[in-house]
A and B are shown apart, each in its own frame.
Chain A
Amino acid sequence: MQLFIELFGKQIPSYGLMIVIGVVLGNLIAFAVLHYSRLDLNDFFVIEAYTFLGAFIGAKLLYLIVSFNEIQWGRLFELQYFNELMLGGFVFYGGLIGGLIFALCAGKFHKIDSKLYMKRLIFLIPFIHAFGRIGCYMAGCCYGIPYDGFGAVVFPEGSLAPSGIPLFPVQLVEAILLFIIAAFLGYMSIRKNWDYSIESYLILYSIVRFILEFYRYDEVRGFVLGLTTSQWISIAILIVSILVIIKKRVEKKKLESEE
């Protein structure tokens, strides 16, 4: 719960530090997996860079869409306002979808089998995301509902969470669940060469996210028909992922019966 950590005499934002640690560790793990699977490091860098770009654009676009009414569109070309818009506000799901789309584009543009890399390394997304959630905990954002039981946390003055009230540690709970998902998917992708790792990640995360949304308390969360925007997106992703798995299995059975 520290907004800033002091390193080498400078005040570094904890959230940024957490994400950087996650990305660095994630890449180190990726290098090991690439080496073990005899995949190309440069191709990986290209896919990763496209994914970051897509994630940035997607997260920002979705944020602009859900905040449509709050944004002063007339001021868009004012440098100060534009910079503020760039600084604040991203939606994870936009980032996830944007990232996946751009990763596939990287494959098309540069003739790389991006699906192969994605299947092997998708477990790194929940891994890095978990670090991001720890960052949320440090900054006090994305906080939970008032709660008095085991594990309740109280944020100090100055963070983004209401201070002095015991809250549900939803950021830490999500971080722990994400680490578990990452470990499980990592094991399945690397040791078992699991074909459905991307779909499994989407199914697991959408379920986790749907449930945890009930424990979040940060204001101004768009509610449509009783559920938040993220819950609706979770449902959509869950359904699409299950359909993709079914489609893949049907195609596999067809190929097998033709042989």
Chain B
Amino acid sequence: MGIASLVLGIIAVLIGLVSAGSLGWLGAILGIIGIILGALGRKDPDKQGIATAGLVLSIIGLVLSLLLYIACVACLAGLSAM
């Protein structure tokens, strides 16, 4: 679980840095799953290190992905928003 979290976290960070917002939604979702796996993985005292790293990276990935993605996502031209 810790390793999965780490992998997802790394991918989320990469998406956040590289996709300039267009794939942000994917980075956000992967980051969220990474956070869940990381937090659950931390409960196992043996794997706490990796799980914590995965958790932190996933959080960073989520933040980076959100930052550029929500360029007023609710109001982008085209379809209505409420």
Q: Which residues of A contact B (CB under 8 A)?
A: 3, 12-13, 15-17, 19-20, 23-24, 42-43, 45-46, 48-50, 52-53, 56, 63, 66-67, 70-71, 83-93, 110, 135-136, 139-142, 160, 218-222, 228-230
Contacts and interface: CB of A to CB of B under 8 A. Distances in A.
B66 A15 contact: no
A83 B22 CA distance: 8
Contact of A20 (B38, B66, B80): B66
A229 B21 CA distance: 29
Given A46-B39, A66-B82, A136 B70 contact: no
Contact of B40 (A42, A136, A219): A42
A221 B80 contact: yes
A70 B80 contact: yes
Contact of B36 (A49, A87, A160): A49
Name the prevailing secondary structure of the B interface residues: helix
Interface of B: 21-23, 25, 28-29, 32-33, 35-36, 38-40, 42-43, 55, 62-63, 66-82
26 contacts: A12-B68, A13-B67, A13-B72, A15-B70, A16-B67, A24-B63, A42-B39, A42-B42, A45-B36, A45-B55, A49-B32, A66-B82, A67-B80, A70-B79, A83-B22, A88-B73, A88-B74, A88-B75, A88-B78, A90-B73, A90-B81, A93-B82, A136-B74, A141-B74, A218-B75, A219-B80
Contact of A13 (B62, B71, B77, B79): B71
A62 to B, nearest CB: 8
Contacts of B40: 42, 46, 110
B19 to A, nearest CB: 10
B79 A89 contact: yes
Contacts of A45: 35-36, 38-39, 55
A50 B80 contact: no
A70 B81 CA distance: 12
Given A67-B79, A70-B79, A87 B35 contact: no
Given A19-B70, A63-B79, A136-B72, 16 more contacts: A3-B71, A16-B67, A16-B70, A43-B39, A45-B35, A45-B38, A46-B35, A46-B40, A49-B35, A50-B36, A53-B32, A56-B29, A66-B80, A88-B81, A89-B80, A92-B82
